[in-house]
Amino acid sequence: MKAKLILRIASVIMFLHLLGHMVGATTWKTNPDATVQETIKGMTEHSFVFMGAKQTLAGHHEGYGYAGALALLFFSIILWIISNADAQTKSISSKIVLVLSTILLLWGIDELIYFFPFAAAFSLISSVLGFYSLTLLKKLQ
């Protein structure tokens, strides 16, 4: 396989991760569990000032969720763009892929610790594909 295909697969995987993330980010306030609903109520009803802005914990949670979605979109786009690497751009492309793959590895570990394995799988698989593509990028002429 060529690096282009490997990186595009990683890009699509991260886009699918984004779609799943957006489902979770837009539906997290609906849960049939009464205890969860009570917690959500507390998060949405009480606000506090943080660095000059008045916000609820729910607002912070949503903000982080949307920021995470933008990061996932960014990863997906960069992987797609960098998949067009050729012999003239392989040096800078390899550096970008190395950094992005490392970030995705750390992102996946974070997801394993603080979220759940299914989400982590997307990031970790994309990371592995990125690292694998580095071996293929070295062969570009």
Mean pLDDT of 38-45: 94
User: Which token pair is 15?
Assistant: 């886009």
Contacts of 65 (CB under 8 A, 6+ apart): 21, 24, 25, 28
CB 61 within 8 A of CB 27: no
Average pLDDT of the segment spanning 93-122? 97
Is the pLDDT assigned to residue 9 strictly greater than 80? Answer: yes
Mean pLDDT of 105-125: 97
Sign of CA dihedral 112, 96, 15, 131: negative
pLDDT category of residue 139 using cuts at 50, 70 and 90: confident
CA-based R_g, the chain, Å: 19
Distance of CA 138 to the CA centre of its chain: 26
Highest mean pLDDT out of 9-13, 90-94, 114-118: 9-13
- pTM, full prediction: 0.91
Residue position matching structure tokens 């990031």: 123
Question: According to the model, what pLDDT value does residue 34 have?
Answer: 94
- The four Cα atoms 131, 134, 136, 138 give a dihedral, to 10 degrees, of -160
pLDDT of res. 141:
64
